[in-house]
Structure 1
């Protein structure tokens, strides 16, 4: 990237020069003290674990050009190390960093059609549906979300649903360079709270739904705070597309500055669904419905569950703002797959096996309720819980599976620094509050093999918790473990044993 005068990067940021010159030249913006080096501007960010202000003495030793702070600082305390370094004070360094990053990368969002999707559930699936539809219609689409960032053929695994602003603006700049015309991205409540998307004006903002989640230490202080953060997106977009059936819609709309459209199951919505049906035959689950209102056609999608109607309808509501033909919708929605989101994996003509990311009680209840609506012979749930997380989650998930599944296989997830057997003990506490039948198999591959080998005609088996993850975290190390690979290996081993 080109060098900038600091004041050029700060053109959209209210600031005060504490010492030095805002005309100094900077080569890069960083907020990680380990990346500090000569010529950069270091932004002091207060995170959940560390406060960048504490690292000022370290970065001064690396000859940085400038430092951005929001706290009062005693410049004399740094002695001669601060000589020649520009100190800038602003009210909120997160907002400053996001706006500086946008300028540094050439305001890439202004060169793209930006679609931001927020909500408790449905963000990931909806973004993949939008990408599939628009690409079917001939657009080049970038994607940013929980699973990955996609820039052309490049796939970048995600650490956060919505990246930090420096990373995000860098991705958008690369998408412009790669020839992308549209970006569809998940916008988390944390990203809105922490100003990661500050400086982006979204062409379309989308609200899927909201329910109590992400409330607690390090996240949101209350459900009201959670809703308020979600609602911020609709003061940052031109067009807002909303789930008209969500009971909290009025609260989300408070203070909006965008035009408003709705989707749902009511005739008063701009787009609404009728004749929703669950499709179930040996080895297959799907959904169909009629789109009504401002568009009119019949849709079939291979993603099961009534929530898939909402996700697909939402994607259609977004894509109708682009040049998309009816056949583009139909083909894309029939073919789209989302890794780890009610993802069907073919193992038998007699029963169905799915992989899903459900990793808390609410999500597990949702997926089991969805699958129960297909009236399986048995509903079998294979799951574990992560280590070094609240033990209450284990009791709750055990109770949910015991109450809602016909048979549960308790296994290991990401034990981290805990003993897998101790985690399974906690899950079992919840299970024993129910009459549900279960077995414990600590090794996840063995647990999956047991589910496959004991599958009965009409069963639906769900492997819950890992979803798109391709690793297992044990004692601080991530070991390769992709459930799709495990299934392939199990089936290959079965085939080999038949030939022996």
Structure 2
């Protein structure tokens, strides 16, 4: 059983009741899990305030509580007061698991776009060079052979430390993780230092009542990473890079297309063959070699440059980098699915106007015979997103198939009608097919030589949420079923 005083070592605190010289059995922040001799941290959430459960956890036998507000606690319960319980939870969790991040090299990737793809590329390169790599991200956490589906891009600090601990136990020597602005704002990544912090790019996103109050706050949260890492590697081409580095305490390296970047790309060429879209370029600066990637577009150059800039610090050979970049795949991020020798079909997570515009603009550069976009929008979410996505697809795609996404508690037809409001502002041709499998069937059946078909919005998701229930639905499975049915198998 860990000593409470030991867990509090790196924290500024005040003991307002009882004695910190006690042993505790578990560290918890969910009152329902409270038991004998536990340490309970009162987290003030948007919906629930942990300070309200002090009496309940004491009754269950908790030995100590950590608070940021004055509370009435029964005699015999040690009360530790701190300025911010979320920050305290991060430091307590790190100590509870015996500071696992100090036994690995942890790489953190932040930015509006590119985080997921970059983390998988880095994992692929480092593993090809013989490292054992853990991953924490939007899609999943990967610890050895264990794969845990994710609910947040950056999990709660206790879970991060638990994952780190498991990674060390399974022999990982490094971890690559996505770091969201929310995660930084809520101190989920406090309590350890990143070996390398990465900034991919920033655009106005995640601004709203439940996320960030303003773009300035969003920027300020992202910039926190560069006061929590030894080396910062940042996108030289991003307009906000100076603000991101404001007050940084790390060494800095840069990447991008700018000739002034430490690692930069030149001679970029689009590569196009039937059923295949890719990009080739030359790396110059700290390293010099040619690269080809099986993922289309300029942002693929950025993602791969980031991965190269990171792996350079792990003494990975150029051959290992080239091979791994050619093989690196990210589920649901411009994921090519072979259905024909005549046209190209892919799955992508683009689920807002900004990401859809970026995706369709990239694919248009390849000069497809027709660019076909199959998408829907989520229910119980902003109607504005529907109008905007409709307008983007109508403007950039040659043909749109409007279908259902996660309708949640709304009627799919009502969501489709909102998308049509946006698409009708353009000259874009479209058809509506509510059932997603039928929409995919229509796209495949009507595919023409030279077409590029993109299924947007679902990406890595393997469910469809209807009336509060998640039904299994994986687009890869739907495509396989459609192909089987079309071939009369």
Report the CA distance between 1:139 and its aligned residue. 0.6
Aligned to 1:158: 150
Alignment equivalent of 1:86, drawn from 57, 73, 78: 78
Asked if 1:106 corresponds to 2:98, the answer is yes
Asked if 1:456 corresponds to 2:454, the answer is no
Report the CA distance between 1:315 and its aligned residue. 0.4
Alignment equivalent of 1:235, drawn from 216, 227, 251: 227
Aligned to 1:310: 302
Alignment equivalent of 2:32, drawn from 24, 34, 58: 34
Equivalent-residue separation in structure 2 for 1:58 and 1:491 (angstroms): 56
Q: TM-score under structure 1 normalisation? A: 0.96
Write the mapping of 1:470-485 to structure 2, written as runs, cut at 5 A: 470-485=462-477
Secondary structure of 2:313's aligned partner: coil
Aligned to 1:54: 52
Equivalent-residue separation in structure 2 for 1:83 and 1:224 (angstroms): 45
Report the CA distance between 1:107 and its aligned residue. 0.2
Which deviations, in whole Å up to 9, do the C-alpha atoms of 1:134-188 show, x marking residues without a partner?
1111111111111111111111111111110000000000000000011111111
In structure 2, list runs of 5 or more residues that go unmatched: none
Aligned to 1:489: 481
Write the mapping of 1:152-231 to structure 2, written as runs, cut at 5 A: 152-231=144-223
Report the CA distance between 1:47 and its aligned residue. 1.6
Alignment equivalent of 1:44, drawn from 35, 42, 45: 42
Report the CA distance between 1:430 and its aligned residue. 1.0
Alignment equivalent of 2:11, drawn from 10, 13, 21: 13
The CA RMSD measured in Å over matched residues stands at: 1.0
Which deviations, in whole Å up to 9, do the C-alpha atoms of 1:320-378 show, x marking residues without a partner?
00121111011101111100001100000111111000111111111111111111111
Report the CA distance between 1:60 and its aligned residue. 2.4
The runs of at least 4 aligned residues of structure 1 exceeding 3 Å deviation read none
Write the mapping of 1:224-263 to structure 2, written as runs, cut at 5 A: 224-263=216-255
Aligned to 1:361: 353
Which deviations, in whole Å up to 9, do the C-alpha atoms of 1:462-496 show, x marking residues without a partner?
10000000111111111111101110111111122
Q: Is 147-156 or 54-63 further displaced after alignment?
A: 54-63
Equivalent-residue separation in structure 1 for 2:263 and 2:200 (angstroms): 14
Report the CA distance between 1:7 and its aligned residue. 1.4
Aligned to 1:121: 113
Which deviations, in whole Å up to 9, do the C-alpha atoms of 1:172-224 show, x marking residues without a partner?
00000000011111111011100000011011111111111111112111111
Asked if 1:399 corresponds to 2:391, the answer is yes
Report the CA distance between 1:458 and its aligned residue. 0.9
Equivalent-residue separation in structure 2 for 1:182 and 1:233 (angstroms): 18
Aligned to 2:367: 375
Asked if 1:23 corresponds to 2:9, the answer is no
Report the CA distance between 1:24 and its aligned residue. 2.1
Q: TM-score under structure 2 normalisation? A: 0.99
Q: Is 56-65 or 4-13 further displaced after alignment?
A: 56-65
Secondary structure of 1:38's aligned partner: coil
Report the CA distance between 1:73 and its aligned residue. 1.8
